[in-house]
């Protein structure tokens, strides 16, 4: 884990982030650094600077998810009121004024994107929204370089979230030029992002999923191009024996096929074959997942138009797999006589045998007797 630098003054912190803000995949990391600086300022009696550090720390601590700023923590206070930290409501009046000063003073796109985004959310002034969009787009290139230098930190995740945020901001501000710029960047990332990056799958999946949800913003030819990219990625993951990833790409491809009037049956076949492969690799009789994989394979292959012979063979394989599964069991005799002695109290004399058994077992369970009842049931008096 990266060691956190320490700064005695807020000016020292500002000098650091102007050079290094893009080197951290989470801005909240900078927030924790600034928190230490704030504490030092409080200890040194510099209360005004400590307040400014707190404002900036709060802005940095937002979590970027689903194309928006989200709180780091949320809950309910002792009075039952919903609370969250940080919240946009924190940035009114003088706090917002200070954030505007920071926005004017920084030249780093990562910082200006965050400050402008918070100010857009708190004021709804169009200029802040546009500045946030432009800064997010500018920051993407910096993050791409970091993903190449430090792939283990998964900068692809912040890239995809930043771009989705940019797209949503462009739609919110009704800025057609910036919508086009966001769309162009999204398509370029799908085409060119480093496939060897550990975060490539998540970036590809998130952006493709977002594109599918916002398909009206794209031309049919662009959607078809993405569908072709999905075919390439699906084959790549299958070749790498990553069938789960291949299935997820296939599921998005089915959705894309539906909106592009493309026959989705080929994707059902591909997904079904992936489930077949997963079932073949789950051969241990104690592994209960094979029947589930085969069931999914049958369903997708049926929807893909597979032959009846192939489906019949899979159905037989499913039956064999289901019979072969051995679930873990505990076999131990349990004495239920104490429960039986009191059954009239909770069951009544008119209870049927199934009702008696059900009540007895439920009572035994709630009394902590959770071990499997096998031989004891056969010794119950009313079964004699």
> For every one of its 384 residues, what pLDDT tens digit does the chain have, with 9 covering 90 and above?
457 899 999 999 999 999 999 999 999 999 999 999 999 999 999 999 999 999 999 999 999 999 999 999 999 888 888 999 999 999 988 999 999 999 999 999 999 999 999 999 999 999 999 999 999 999 999 999 999 999 999 999 999 999 999 999 999 999 999 999 999 999 999 999 999 999 999 999 999 999 999 999 999 999 999 999 999 999 999 999 999 999 999 999 999 999 999 999 999 999 999 999 999 998 776 678 899 999 999 999 999 999 999 999 999 999 988 888 766 555 666 676 666 666 555 555 555 555 555 555 555 554 444 444 444 544 444 444
Count of residues in the chain: 384
Strand 68-70 with 73-76, pairing:
unpaired
CA dist 215 and 182 (Å) reads 14
Distances in Å between the alpha carbon of 238 and those of 78, 166, 191, 206? 52, 32, 19, 19
**CATH of the domain spanning 219-328:** 1.25.40
Confidence (pLDDT) at 76: 86
- Residue 330: the pLDDT is 56
Write down the pLDDT at residue 373.
Answer: 47
Alpha helices (H) in the chain, listed in sequence order = 10-20, 27-43, 47-60, 93-105, 109-123, 126-149, 155-172, 176-192, 200-213, 220-239, 243-259, 265-280, 289-303, 308-324, 337-341, 343-346, 353-366, 375-378
Contact criterion met (CB below 8 Å) for 56 and 102: yes
Residue ranges of domains in the chain: 219-328, 337-383
| Sign of the torsion formed by the C-alpha atoms of 268, 274, 275 and 277 | positive
Residue 240 CA neighbour count, 13 Å, CB half: 14
Half-sphere exposure of 302 (CA within 13 A, CB side): 11
Q: 70: part of which helix (H) or strand (E)? A: strand 68-70
Q: Is 243:285 a contact under the CB 8 Å cutoff?
A: no
Q: Are 138 and 184 in contact (CB under 8 A)?
A: no
In contact, 124 and 109? CB cutoff 8 Å: no
d(CA 187, CA 280): 36
CA distance 119 to 129: 8
The pTM is what?
Answer: 0.81
Sole residue written with tokens 């790549």: 236
pLDDT score recorded for residue 77:
85
């Amino acid at each position: 884990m990266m060691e956190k630098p320490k700064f005695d003054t807020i000016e020292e912190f500002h000098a650091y982030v102007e050079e290094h803000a893009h080197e951290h995949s989470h801005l909240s990391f900078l927030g924790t650094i600034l928190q230490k600086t704030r504490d030092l300022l409080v200890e040194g009696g510099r209360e005004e600077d400590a307040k400014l550090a707190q404002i900036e720390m709060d802005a940095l601590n937002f979590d970027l998810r689903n194309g928006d700023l989200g709180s780091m923590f949320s809950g309910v206070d002792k009075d039952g009121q919903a609370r969250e930290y940080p919240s946009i409501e924190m940035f009114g009046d003088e706090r917002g004024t200070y954030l505007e000063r920071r926005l004017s003073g920084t030249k780093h796109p990562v910082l200006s994107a965050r400050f402008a985004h918070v100010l857009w959310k708190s004021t709804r002034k169009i200029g802040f929204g546009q500045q946030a969009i432009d800064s997010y787009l500018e920051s993407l290139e910096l993050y791409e370089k970091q993903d190449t230098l430090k792939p283990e930190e998964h900068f692809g995740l912040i890239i995809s979230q930043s771009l989705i945020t940019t797209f949503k901001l462009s739609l919110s501000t009704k800025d057609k030029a910036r919508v086009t710029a966001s769309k162009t960047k999204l398509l370029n990332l799908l085409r060119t992002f480093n496939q060897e990056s550990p975060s490539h799958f998540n970036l590809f999946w998130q952006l493709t999923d977002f594109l599918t949800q916002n398909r009206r913003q794209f031309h049919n030819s662009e959607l078809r191009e993405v569908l072709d990219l999905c075919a390439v990625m699906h084959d790549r993951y299958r070749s790498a024996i990553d069938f789960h990833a291949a299935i997820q790409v296939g599921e998005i491809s089915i959705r894309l096929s539906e909106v592009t009037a493309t026959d989705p049956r080929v994707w059902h076949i591909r997904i079904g074959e992936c489930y077949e492969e997963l079932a073949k690799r789950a051969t241990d009789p104690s592994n209960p997942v094979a029947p589930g994989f085969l069931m999914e394979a049958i369903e997708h292959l049926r929807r893909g138009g597979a032959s009846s012979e192939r489906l019949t063979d899979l159905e037989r394989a499913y039956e064999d797999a289901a019979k072969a599964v051995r679930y873990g069991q505990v076999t131990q005799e349990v004495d239920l006589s104490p429960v039986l002695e009191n059954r009239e109290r909770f069951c009544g004399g008119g209870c049927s045998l199934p009702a008696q058994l059900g009540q007895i077992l439920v009572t035994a369970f709630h009394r902590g007797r959770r071990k499997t009842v096998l031989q004891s049931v056969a010794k119950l008096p009313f079964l004699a």
